[in-house]
Amino acid sequence: MTRSLVVTLALSLAALPKAAEGQNRGLEILERASDRYEAVQTLCADFTQHLLVPLLGNERTGTGRLCQGRPNLFAMRFTDPAGDLIVVDGDFAWIYFPSNDARTVLKTSADRSAGGRDFHREFLSDPATKYEVAYVRSEVVVGRETHRINMIPKGPASYRTATVWLDVAEPVLRQLRLEEENGNVRTITLTNVDFASDPGGDWFSFTPPLGALVMVR
The string of pLDDT tens digits covering residues 34-66 is 888 888 888 999 999 999 999 888 999 999 999
In-domain check, residue 143: yes
* CA-based nearest residue to 60, from 83, 80, 46, 45: 80
pLDDT bracket for residue 19 (50, 70, 90)? low
* CA-based nearest residue to 82, from 97, 66, 68, 103: 97
In-domain check, residue 78: yes
Rounded mean pLDDT, 76-88: 96
Q: Domain count for the chain, please give it.
A: 1
Rounded CA separation 124/90 (Å): 20
The range of the structural domain enclosing residue 32 comes to 18-216
What is the phi/psi pair of residue 130, to 5°?
-95, -20
Q: CA 126 → CA 32, 35, 154, distances in Å?
A: 11, 10, 12
In-domain check, residue 36: yes
Q: Tell me what percent of the residues of the chain surpass a pLDDT of 90.
A: 62
pLDDT at 12 over 90: no
Q: CA 121 → CA 38, 106, 130, distances in Å?
A: 9, 23, 11
| Residue 18 pLDDT | 54
Rounded mean pLDDT, 199-212: 92
pLDDT bracket for residue 15 (50, 70, 90)? very low
What does the angle CA 217 – CA 117 – CA 32 come to, to the nearest 5 degrees? 150
